[in-house]
Structures are given as structure tokens and as C-alpha cells.
């Protein structure tokens, strides 16, 4: 009888020890996530494997962007008007929400796309003076620095493209206000796209075409053909304040700290709307 009692007590103590060890392991995992800047927000029914996979994937800050080619006739049918400089535009209502992040959608003829590599080209100077864009604050200071790199990457294709009547769709985003004004002090021409969300399931295409629809109002998910793509990785994220810090990097000013382990991964798609 005494032997049975001792066996039961030893078995219960071993079970309690294993439970305590499991709880300690969970606490350690929680501490690791907090140290890395993550706060687990998954339901209890998710497996540890999926949770760990999600956190590892989030070390890469991912995004996707779509450079779309559309015929002039289709763009005009969506309500576009032609500016004096030869560029087409659709006015957009901006309020900062995910579906109203831009204030204009541009349709740039392929023959004029090389003018969007620099801010002082003839086409950009004419855009700055276009009275149709007067509703955009500080339109005279609009910049192309956010698109020049990727446009130059796809420039050889644009030069050999057969259909010269197609337009390249680009956004105009307004200047920043409040806390983000130092990052975006002027209006800027951008490529439709944005960062990855949970609903995209780590799929660049889902991300790119979702963002394209939100920013342009055009759903081309099932009516396009892919022409090319380009993946870009960097440990720095570009904005206009980057130019300021580069300019004064030799002066005794406090520079912003950059986490070198954070990698910005972006996928750029070049597609033609059918």
C-alpha cells in the first residue's frame, strides 16, 4: 500500500514538473517576441509552428508595386482628361484613408516616360504649371525621385515597346502634414502599391494588385498579362528626409539610427491591362 502511494506521488510530481517546464518555455518565447518588438496577437488555436513562421516572415518588411500599361482609349473611358503637356489624368479625392491615398492618377505616354527620370524635364515643368492640378498643395514642387530608379530599370523595355499609344499609370500623392511633413515635404509621383498585410498571405501578387485597386480604383487582378518583374532588397527605406541626412552626414549632427537587420523587400510588376 505504501509503495503504491509513493508511486502515485512520484508520478504526480513528475507531471507537475513537466507542466512547469512547459509554462517556463512559453514564458521564454513570449519574452523573446517582446524583445524583438513583436506582440503575439494570434488566437490560441493557432499552432506554434505557424506563429513562429509568421514572426520570422515579419522580419522582412515586404511590399509590392504594379507598373501598369493601359490603352489610351480605356483610360479615357474611365474619365481621364488630356493635359496640355500630353499627359492624361483622373482627379482623385484624397482623405488619407486606404482607398483614398492619392489625389490624382496619371496616364503617361510611353514616349514621354524618360522625362519622369528627373524633376526639371520639360514635361514635369509643364505639369507643375497645369491649372488642372492647382487643387494639389505645392504642386510646383512635385518630385519624381520615388519612381526614377524603377522607371530606369524598365526603360529598355519601354524603348522597344510596340504599342506607342499605351499609357503608364502613376499616382500623385500629396505632401505630408503634421508628424510626417519632414518625410514628405512636397507632392510626389509614385508607383501604385504598398506594404504587405496579413490578408495577402505572404503573396506579392495579392499585395500588389490589392494596393493597386485601393489607390487607383481600377481592379485589374483578372484582366492583365505579366510582362516582367523585379525584386529589390535593401536595409534602408527611402524618403525625402534621406536626402537631408545624406547632405549633412559629415556635420556633427545626430543621425537617425537604422536597424541593419531590417530588410525592406519589394517586388515590382510590369503588366499590360487587357
> pLDDT of 114-168, one tens digit each?
999 999 999 999 999 999 999 999 999 999 999 999 999 999 999 888 777 899 9
Question: How many distinct structural domains can be found in the chain?
Answer: 1
Indicate whether 23 pLDDT > 70. no
Q: Is residue 41 part of a domain?
A: no
Q: Is residue 174 part of a domain?
A: yes
Cell numbers placing 145: 525621385
Q: Is residue 37 part of a domain?
A: no
Neighbours of 109 (CB within 10 A): 19
Query: Can you give the residue range of the structural domain that contains 228?
Result: 64-249+256-273
Q: Is the pTM of this model over 0.75?
A: no
Cell numbers placing 159: 524603348
Q: Is residue 36 part of a domain?
A: no
Q: Is residue 40 part of a domain?
A: no
Q: Is residue 226 part of a domain?
A: yes
Q: Is residue 167 part of a domain?
A: yes
Q: Is residue 13 part of a domain?
A: no
Judge contact between 81 and 88, C-beta under 8 A.
Answer: yes
Residue 5, SS3 per DSSP: helix
Calpha distance 21→42 (Å, rounded): 22
Cell numbers placing 220: 485589374
Residues 161-194 as b/e (b if ≥16 CB within 10 A, e otherwise) read beeeebbbbbbbbbbbeeeeeeebbbbbbbbbbb
Amino acid at each position: 500500500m505504501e509503495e503504491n502511494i509513493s508511486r502515485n506521488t512520484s508520478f504526480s510530481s513528475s507531471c507537475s514538473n513537466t507542466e512547469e517546464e512547459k509554462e517556463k518555455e512559453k514564458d521564454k518565447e513570449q519574452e523573446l517576441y517582446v524583445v524583438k518588438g513583436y506582440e503575439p496577437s494570434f488566437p490560441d488555436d493557432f499552432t506554434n509552428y505557424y506563429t513562429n513562421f509568421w514572426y520570422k516572415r515579419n522580419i522582412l518588411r515586404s511590399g509590392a508595386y504594379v507598373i501598369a500599361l493601359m490603352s489610351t482609349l480605356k483610360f479615357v473611358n474611365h474619365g481621364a482628361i488630356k493635359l496640355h503637356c500630353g499627359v492624361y489624368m483622373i482627379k482623385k479625392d484624397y482623405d488619407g484613408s486606404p482607398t483614398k491615398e492619392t489625389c490624382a492618377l496619371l496616364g503617361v505616354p510611353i514616349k514621354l516616360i524618360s522625362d519622369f527620370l528627373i524633376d526639371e524635364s520639360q514635361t514635369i515643368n509643364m505639369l507643375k504649371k497645369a491649372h488642372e492640378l492647382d487643387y494639389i498643395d505645392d504642386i510646383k514642387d512635385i518630385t519624381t525621385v520615388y519612381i526614377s530608379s524603377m522607371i530606369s530599370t524598365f526603360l529598355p523595355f519601354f524603348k522597344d515597346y510596340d504599342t506607342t499609344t499605351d499609357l503608364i499609370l502613376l499616382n500623385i500623392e500629396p505632401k505630408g502634414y503634421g508628424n510626417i511633413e519632414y518625410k514628405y515635404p512636397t507632392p510626389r509621383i509614385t508607383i501604385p502599391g504598398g506594404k504587405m498585410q496579413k490578408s495577402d498571405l505572404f503573396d506579392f501578387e495579392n499585395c500588389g494588385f490589392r494596393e493597386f485597386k485601393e489607390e487607383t480604383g481600377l481592379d485589374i487582378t483578372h484582366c492583365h498579362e505579366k510582362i516582367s518583374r523585379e525584386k529589390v532588397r535593401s536595409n534602408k527605406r527611402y524618403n525625402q528626409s534621406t536626402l537631408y541626412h545624406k547632405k549633412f552626414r559629415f556635420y556633427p549632427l545626430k543621425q537617425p539610427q537604422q536597424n541593419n537587420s531590417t530588410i525592406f523587400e519589394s517586388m515590382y510588376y510590369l503588366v499590360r491591362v487587357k
